[in-house]
Amino acid sequence: MDVAIVGGTGAEGFGLALRLARAGHHVTIGSRVAEKAAASVQEAKTSLGLDASVDGDVNAGSVVGKPVVFVTVPFAGQAMVYDTIKDALAAGTVVCDCTSPLMTAVGGRASHALRPWHGSAAEFAKSLLPKGTRLVAAFHTIASDVLRDLNQDVDSDALVMGDDADAKAVVGSLIADIPGMRWVDCGGLQMARIAEGLTPLLISINGRYKVRESGFRLTGRDVWGDPRG
């Protein structure tokens, strides 16, 4: 699949780019600065091999013609990024927002959460996107260090929220292509209000235990079967 990762030069976005490219998808890394995108492409090819299907562009250029777009940016830059890419998105694009509203956006601690006026960062994103965009929220509980460590499978489930079942399944299929990962359909987009709050919880746990790889596994997931079934 052809995928863009807006903010793909950041820790989470770059880790996701590595994982999806390694799974055989074509990944375009987006950045505010073309030179940073190019540097990340070179780093990805060094890690994955020169034949890895990865390229780069500025954020708006990275999403042109892409059926799936991941947005992996801090909450402080979320509105600006969506304003940059919204006119370049084709109708029907599946956009996966990975934003966690943390107090770092206003000078506070990463282990403290903000509560956006719309209820969640994902619902705020919905208000910024053109009609027809198929918005999904996911990846709030997946550590960037884990994504970047290609020597290990990702020992964590991904919580996926959205009002479009088919769009969730598209994102879920990409998640399932990452070794060790499973996706869990958590319901409508409003459930992001809960999932986004788990990010500072994990940051707090990581700090207390001096680790960087905490995550979530839901018991019984294999018994439940495929969320699409």
SS (H, E, C) the chain: CEEEEECCCCHHHHHHHHHHHHCCCEEEEEECCHHHHHHHHHHHHHHHCCCCCEEEEEHHHHCCCCCEEEECCCHHHHHHHHHHHHHHCCCCCEEEECCCCEHHHHCCCCCCECCCCCCCHHHHHHHHCCCCCEEEECCCCCCHHHHHCCCCCCCCEEEEEECCHHHHHHHHHHHHCCCCCEEEECCCHHHHHHHCCHHHHHHHHHHHHCCCCCCCCCCCHHHHCCCCC
What range does the domain containing 175 cover? 2-224
Assigned domain for 110 exists = yes
Q: Which CATH number characterizes residue 135's domain?
A: 3.40.50.720
Beta carbons of 199 and 74 less than 8 angstroms apart: no
Q: Look at residue 229 and tell me if it is in a domain.
A: no
**Residue-wise pLDDT tens digits, 2-44:** 999 999 999 999 999 999 999 999 999 999 999 999 999 999 9
Examine residue 148 and state whether it is found in any structural domain, yes or no.
yes
In a domain, 202, yes or no: yes
Q: What is the mean pLDDT of residues 117-122?
A: 93
pLDDT digits (tens, 9 = 90+) for 154-203: 999 999 999 999 999 999 999 999 999 999 999 999 999 999 999 999 99
Whether 150 maps to a domain, the answer reads yes
pLDDT band for position 115 (cuts 50, 70, 90): confident
User: Does 188 reside within a domain?
Assistant: yes
| Statement: residue 137 has pLDDT above 80 | yes
Neighbours of 130 (CB within 10 A): 12
pLDDT score of 123 more than 90: yes
* Cα–Cα distance for residue pair 96/133, rounded to 1 Å: 10
- pLDDT-based confidence at residue 112 (cuts at 50, 70, 90): confident
pLDDT given for residue 106 in this prediction: 77
Phi then psi for 134, rounded to 5 degrees?
-100, 100
CB contact set of 117 (below 8 Å; sequence gap of 6+): 124
The first and second tokens of residue 111, run together, are 């282990």
- pLDDT tens per residue across span 34-76: 999 999 999 999 999 999 999 999 999 999 999 999 999 999 8
Residue 87 lies in a domain: yes
Find where tokens 């998808």 sit.
Answer: 25
Residue 39 counted as domain residue: yes
Task: Please tell me the predicted confidence (pLDDT) of residue 25.
Answer: 98
Per the structure, the count of domains in the chain is: 1
